[in-house]
Amino acid sequence: GWLDGRSALVTGGASGIGRAVVERFLAEGARVAVLDASAENIAALRKDLPDVVVTEGDVSSFEDNERAVAATVAAHGGLNTFVGNAGIFDYFAPVATTPGATLSGSFDEIFSVNVKGYLLGVKASLPALLESSSPSIVFTLSNGAFLPAGGGSVYTASKHAAVGLIRQLAYELAPRVRVNGVAPGGTLTDLRGASALGQAETSLRDAANFPDLVRATNPLGIVQQPADHTGSYVLLASPENAAAISGVVINSDGGMQVRGLVQAAGGADL
Ligand code: NAD
């Protein structure tokens, strides 16, 4: 495989896109570790893939990131690729109708996971990455990293912020570490919303029209599944295939970026 003998740590790897990356990396010959907060998702992962090294913890905690890196290095002898992927959504919460205190709480919560989680994961991984051969970092972004209407303002801003992290880290960690991203379009997963918005149990899977919405908003007209995105992560983590690639984001969204999302204006009911 393209990742034979290499060691990877995937945050949010117990579900959805992260879990698909875990399975694909294993198939490409990598040894894989996961940091995830969900005991339920972790139990399923352990049962299905007992070789994966799992740490239960929160990506917004530096100590939990450090524990996950330590477990990875102890089991695999090193760390070649850090995949920042754990994230939460805001289910399009509109600025106009979300109460101020709720909006404030959702900002703190979503930025803690989607932005600080990536930053602290890199900080915790960096010593091990710098000791390994051809190290790389890959973040999961979103169409919301480039376009409005892929979420509410807070989610969109959090994914835009992660583009900034990629660019800064691709500069700051060069020439030793390559840093890139993959930006999926709407994908059928269990993605949850912010507790501050009362969305901790809200899942994309529960929205009956989500597959149709995804199909209607991408030129290829496909309903994206987690496995559809994994080849991009393999490419970016592979020294043979991506030796010259750093600071870029691969849009894995059925071509959405050529035309944008749904409607001309989002404020018709203001
Ligand atoms: P998912 O909920 O299926 O998987 C996310 C995993 O991350 C879960 O196992 C969850 O327990 C874990 N997690 C959440 N918060 C955590 C925290 N604080 N600490 C540790 N683990 C945590 O969702 P998914 O859709 O696979 O999401 C993965 C990434 O993909 C996210 O960054 C999301 O923003 C991004 N994304 C998803 C879509 C989509 O439509 N599903 C589209 C674009 C981007």
Which superfamily, per CATH, for 7-257? NAD(P)-binding Rossmann-like Domain (3.40.50.720)
- What's the ipTM? 0.99
Choosing from 189, 199, 202 the residue with most ligand 1 atoms within 8 A of its CB, the one to mutate for a pocket test is 189
pLDDT digits (tens, 9 = 90+) for 67-120: 999 999 999 999 999 999 999 999 999 999 999 999 999 999 999 999 999 999
Choosing from 9, 10, 17, 52 the residue with most ligand 1 atoms within 8 A of its CB, the one to mutate for a pocket test is 17
Q: Which amino acid makes up residue 154?
A: V
Confidence of residue 123 (pLDDT cuts 50, 70, 90): very high
Ligand 1 neighbourhood includes 113 CB (under 6 angstroms):
yes
- Give nearest CA residue, ligand 1 atom 23: 191
**The token pair that represents 10 in the structure block:** 């995937």
DSSP string, 114-164: IIIHHHHHHHHHHHHHHTSSS-EEEEE--GGGTSTTSS-HHHHHHHHHHHH
Q: Is the pLDDT of residue 231 over 70?
A: yes
pLDDT digits (tens, 9 = 90+) for 248-265: 999 999 999 998 776 788
- Give nearest CA residue, ligand 1 atom 31: 87
Question: Do the beta carbons of residue 39 and residue 56 sit within 8 Å?
Answer: yes
CA of 5 relative to ligand 1 center, distance in Å: 26
Confidence of residue 207 (pLDDT cuts 50, 70, 90): confident
pLDDT the model gives residue 259? 81
